[in-house]
Amino acid sequence: MLDEIGDLLKAIKKERSSGHMEIIIQKLKMLMTSSHTIYSNSAVSDSKMFFTIDQPHCVIFGTATAEKFWSNLSLDAVEDGFLGRILPFEVAGYSHTSHPVLHPVPDTIIEQVKAWINFMPSDGNLAIQAPKPVIYKQTPQAFARHQKYCDSIDSRIPKDGKHRPTDGLWKRARGRAASLALLFAASRQGPNKDAVIDIQDVELAIKFSNWITRKTIFKIATQASENQWESDCQRVFNIIKQHEIGLTALISKTRWLRSRDRKEIIETLIGSGKIELTEVTTKTKKRLFYKARKA
């Protein structure tokens, strides 16, 4: 399995070096969809890059500043299903300096890790290469609660073909809640072939899924852009919103823009009422500053 994962990373790195980020995103989405079957990249010109993964479970952990992440988010990422497949967590501010102290790993953690490593969900001589997954059954209460949650989401999504870009996030929230309930049940009961998904797992999963979805929708409504022009406008506004800033400093922080585009963006932000131009008189001269208008 490690060899196949290495091949996958090489393929992704190759696409990245070619600038094909959209291709990478599509492959990541296909990996998630193929989690119950065999994934292969058969459509490759180089036979050395061919590989298969049995029941892939791709988990990627990445970090970025909140402003950069949301300001570079487009509505295309919302509607194509990619954003509904990730769990964005945002932490405000900076943390204090930490002073790590060396402690031994607790025995309980070591025991849990060993138990999961030694856990064999199925029998047979191919159990390691192609294990048969353990099916977690739901209690009647858990099943009814998740069904009610799905019905509630379905009732709020238009059936006449009209939809909002964020409707797809709520559709994904149904499956996300089910996956989280499974994860919570497994974490709570450990490696156990007789484990079940209880009502407490579903309730926590729904609560968590709702929070993530609403937070994401709020960020989309306030920061996501439909095109490059809107994205540039939002990035400039985010800079001015932090604190009032002079033109020289603004030029320094928006060097990716051409002079004409910067001027048009500032005029657009002033015209829309999002920022205003203020004048500060000193002993020697007058200085102009841009600042965000209070809502």
- DSSP annotation string for 40-109: E----S-GGG--EEES----------HHHHHHT-BHHHHHTSSGGG-------S-PPPP-----PPPHHH
Residue 291 has pLDDT above 80, yes or no: yes
**Residue 52 predicted with pLDDT over 60:** yes
pLDDT at 1 over 60: no
Q: Helix, strand or coil for residue 9?
A: helix
- What average pLDDT does the segment 233-253 reach? 86
Averaged pLDDT, 234-252: 86
Q: What is the pLDDT of residue 198?
A: 96
Task: State which of 21-30, 92-101, 169-178, 270-279 shows the largest mean pLDDT.
Answer: 169-178
**Overall size of the chain counted in residues:** 295
CA distance from start to end of the chain: 54
**Per-residue pLDDT at 44 exceeds 80:** no
pLDDT of residue 185: 95
Looking at residue 8, its pLDDT comes to 56
Residue reference for tokens 């953690």: 109
Which band of pLDDT confidence, cut at 50, 70 and 90, is reported for residue 18? very low
Other C-beta atoms lying within 10 Å of the C-beta of residue 122:
13
Please report where in the chains the tokens 């769990």 appear, as a residue.
87
Band the pLDDT of 285: cuts 50, 70, 90: confident
The two tokens of residue 158 are 């238009």
Cα gap 177→201, rounded to integer Å: 9
* Amino acid 19: pLDDT: 44
Closest CA to 295 of 264, 272, 265, 266: 272
Q: What pLDDT does 22 receive?
A: 65
When the pLDDT of each residue in the chain is averaged and rounded to a whole number, the result is: 82
Higher pLDDT pick, 61 / 78: 61
> 84 with 171: CB under 8 angstroms?
yes
Instruction: Look at residue 102 and tell me whether its pLDDT is greater than 70.
Output: yes
Sheet with 286-292, strands from edge to edge, namely 245-246, 286-292, 275-281
User: Residue 182 has what pLDDT?
Assistant: 94
Q: Are 38 and 54 in contact (CB under 8 A)?
A: yes
- 3-state secondary structure at position 22: helix
Residue 191 CA to chain centroid, in angstroms?
28
CA distance 72 to 67: 8
What angle separates helix 259-271 from helix 228-242, to the nearest 10 degrees? 70
* Furthest C-alpha separation in the chain: 86
Residues 6+ apart with CB under 8 A from 237: 269, 274, 275, 292
Q: pLDDT-based confidence at 43, cuts 50/70/90?
A: low
| Phi, psi values for residue 22, rounded to 5° | -65, -35
Question: DSSP per residue over 231-266, as a string?
Answer: HHHHHHHHHHHHS-EEHHHHHHHTTTS-HHHHHHHH
Task: Supply the pLDDT for residue 17.
Answer: 45
Highest mean pLDDT among 106-110, 216-220, 229-233: 106-110
Average pLDDT estimate for 173-182:
93
